[in-house]
Structure 1
Amino acid sequence: MVFQQDNAAVHNARLTNDFFQENNVALLDHPACSPDLNPIEKVWGWMAWEVYKNRDQFQTMDALLEAIFTTWTKVPTNLLFLGL
């Protein structure tokens, strides 16, 4: 069995690594925080930039949520497929 995971330190618990070793699970060597393992990160980054691009300070949670949902409908489709 082969398992692929992000090798960031926060995802490399000793308990998990011991389990893999004891059960002969091979880990694929992969760089930490690799964007191709989690392409949605590009979308979240774009959305945060878009929501706050005018340096808006939202006065209510409803106003912030409205900005988030409006921005979600504007996510460029090409952003969803980058790196896949």
Structure 2
Amino acid sequence: MHPIKINRALNAAAIGSCPGSASDMLAAIPDSVVAALPGRLLAELLDANWQLAQRSKSLAAREALDEGAVWDDRRERMIELAADGRANRE
């Protein structure tokens, strides 16, 4: 690992203020990519991945509202949404 480079990248990246998310985003980047990138570019990659994740979550929420239901993995069932967008838990 490259702790100095990673610390610099996390300090420079906006996602660095969210340690759990930053750690997960960093873990998703192959070690060979981390080794090849300077800290500044690693910070840019982390933030780009974070922005993509945020857009994906927003899209998923909009699609759930359009579909009128969401899948509950824990309970393994579909939960229908009420007209106001809240979960209708029977």
- Whether the TM-score (by the shorter chain) exceeds 0.5 is no
Q: Which has the higher helix share?
A: 2
Higher relative contact order (CA closer than 8 Å, sequence separation 6+): 1
After TM superposition, the score normalised by the length of structure 2 is 0.31
